[in-house]
Amino acid sequence: MNEDLRLHSPAAERNREPILQVLRRVLPDSGGLLLEIASGTGQHAAYLGEALPRWRWQPSDAEARSLPSIAAWCEGLPNVLPPLRLDVTAPRWDGVPAEADALFCANLLHIAPWACCAGLMQGAARHLRPGAPLLLYGPFIREGVPTAPSNLAFDADLRARDPAWGLRRLEDVADTARAAGLGWCETVAMPANNLLVVFERARSAPGSSTPG
């Protein structure tokens, strides 16, 4: 493993095990192809891919500089495919398999323009097979639920760095998912005031999209 190419995220190190526990419960034991959006450093792809050997893991990221790090972290893992460069706002996701059995995305929407949410949901609807899950991890603001002071401070810091960034209202994300044909399934509370939200590509008509 070429450690010189590996970027490191302390947050990815901390949250990988709680995420794995949810994935083990939600994903079928039979395995399949999982597309990861915004793989970042590649730590999630390496840890989760190794822990779920029946799943072929396709990492991707919009930043070309991330791809060598992802490849270095995942070196030697036979079920993790070479990373793809992927902009979720593109009308077509070139190079992405036509049909995936699951899609996983961590910590993207709050550090990207809002257009990325629509792009993510529309792309998931195009590439997920009917009934397949989209697992979306990160911090959110929820209607009627007090936002943790740490998340409020994080939101203010993000918006100061880029006005297009910031924590998203989960209800707005769910509405965008529903418009693309993805129904909400469940919301799982995670450590450090994060959530893991599970959507599903509609089997026929779009499903319910009321997060709880």
CATH of domain 10-201: 3.40.50.150
Q: What is the pLDDT of residue 208?
A: 46
For residue 95, with 0-12 CB atoms within 10 Å meaning exposed, 13-18 middle and 19 or more buried, which class applies?
A: exposed
Strand partners, 122: none
Split at pLDDT 50, 70, 90, the class of 202 is: confident
Q: Round to whole Å and give the CA distance between 133 and 124.
A: 9
Domain boundaries, the chain: 10-201
Residue-wise pLDDT tens digits, 150-200: 999 999 999 999 999 999 999 999 999 999 999 999 999 999 999 999 999
